[in-house]
Amino acid sequence: MYKELEESMIKAVTEKKEKLEQQEKHNKKYWSTIHVPITLDEGLRKYTKAELDAIRKRLHIKNASGLKKAELIALLQEKIPEQVEELSGTWDEERFNLLKEMANQAGVMEAPALTVDQVNYLRETGIIFTGIIEDKRILAIPEEVIEPIKSLTHNVNIRSKIQRNTNWVKLTNGLLYYYGTLELDQIVHLLETYTTEPIDPSAYVSVIQDANMYQNRIFTDEEGYAHHRVHDTKQVKQQQQTRTDISYYNFTKEQLLQAGEPGFVERNESYIQFVHFLTNTYDITSEEANSIVEECVYATKQGVSANNVLQYVASQVNVGGLDAVQAIMDHVVYLMNNTRKWELKGYTSTELWTEEKQLTPKTKNLTKKIGRNDPCPCGSGKKYKKCCGR
């Protein structure tokens, strides 16, 4: 299991490096000098034929694959303004607010922090251009769509769809953060429960797929939908299916909406204590300590053992003697017992142990009092040394 964690970490580091290299490569392409106000014709002429074809496909414009560049630009100039309302109807508040802010500022705004994938996504809409003005990165919309976008801010139907989409996106990401993986029908059923409204699965899929092109936080395969940090969706599902004694943890709508925010990690007391311990004990920054503990959280969610999580932490800091190792292990076990696990359907080991009345006065201190031959607090039925205490 440690090998899997190590491979997962190496993959994460490699992907981060590749993204940085990709970002540097695209900086010159995406962030060149631009003049505003800008028209559709001026913006589209900056694109290659391949980029224009990507826009055409994104807007589902048919029977135009054989057009030359100038002909395609002319067609897009006609079609793009007509697509603004339809495009907005699949967006959430985060993306629509970009359009609204640009429209309210004469078609231009300083670009927020965006990944390469997000920049590419916005450019492929055909209504958002990128560039540099006075050494600042900016986003711009063409003059032809400023008024149509402004009118949409008062369109009750569009506003309703945007709010619906926002809830769908956040609730879905929240559910997958806590449960790891779910099938489409499970997600639809849960969303109908939380929103108290019927959901059209095809409309939902369209919204989520489009949002994922922008956020890239969900992995899909034959097993269904999964959080992007799930290592093996089939294994998680199998582990959940063996837990017939428990139902999925009942989160509140507010908890899921919070967990659905980009970059969310549940920072409970065990998390905070571990971060403080690392920053007070070792020469590392708070950001570095948070990164280490965050990886421990995801390792726990994936079922990695305490010993292997300890090995990971030891690879990130200069541990020291046995007392230091024991201190780290205490924090690791405390964190793991209070982290919501995918295999436990969103429960923490402590919650299940308490629920099943396996706690005794002698074993309440989970960081020090669990005997290796005691039942594991996660409720698996195994001895602690054969489960979370490995």
**What are the tens digits of pLDDT across the range 201-231?**
999 999 999 999 999 999 998 879 999 999 9
| Residue 365 counted as domain residue | no
> In this model, does residue 362 exceed pLDDT 70?
no
Which range, of 67-81, 248-262, 356-370, averages the lowest pLDDT? Answer: 356-370
| Residue 1 counted as domain residue | no
Residue with tokens 């079922």: 303
| Residue 53 counted as domain residue | yes
Q: What is the distance between the alpha carbons of residues 189 and 382, in angstroms, rounded to a whole number?
A: 33
Specify whether the CB–CB gap between 278 and 292 falls below 8 A: yes
Same domain, 184 and 231: yes
Compute the residue count for the chain. 390
pTM: 0.84
Residue 273's H or E segment, with its range, is helix 269-281
Residue 196, by phi and psi: left (phi above 0), alpha (psi -120 to 50) or beta?
A: left
Same domain, 204 and 146: no
| Residue 279 counted as domain residue | yes
Half-sphere exposure (Cβ direction) of 26: Cα atoms closer than 13 Å: 16
Domain count, the chain: 3
Same domain, 51 and 136: yes
| Residue 175 counted as domain residue | yes
| Residue 5 counted as domain residue | no
**What are the tens digits of pLDDT across the range 150-178?**
999 999 999 999 999 999 999 999 999 99
DSSP lists the bridge partners of residue 225 as: 182, 220
Same domain, 135 and 214: no
Same domain, 229 and 273: no
DSSP lists the bridge partners of residue 130 as: 139
- Distant-in-sequence, close-in-space partners of 186: CB < 8 Å, separation ≥ 6: 224
DSSP lists the bridge partners of residue 139 as: 109, 130
Same domain, 33 and 69: yes
Centroid of chain to Cα 66: 38
| Residue 12 counted as domain residue | no
Domain around 329: 269-338
Same domain, 240 and 165: yes
Same domain, 162 and 217: yes
Pairing of strands 181-182, 129-133: unpaired
Same domain, 108 and 181: no
Coil vs helix vs strand at 287: helix
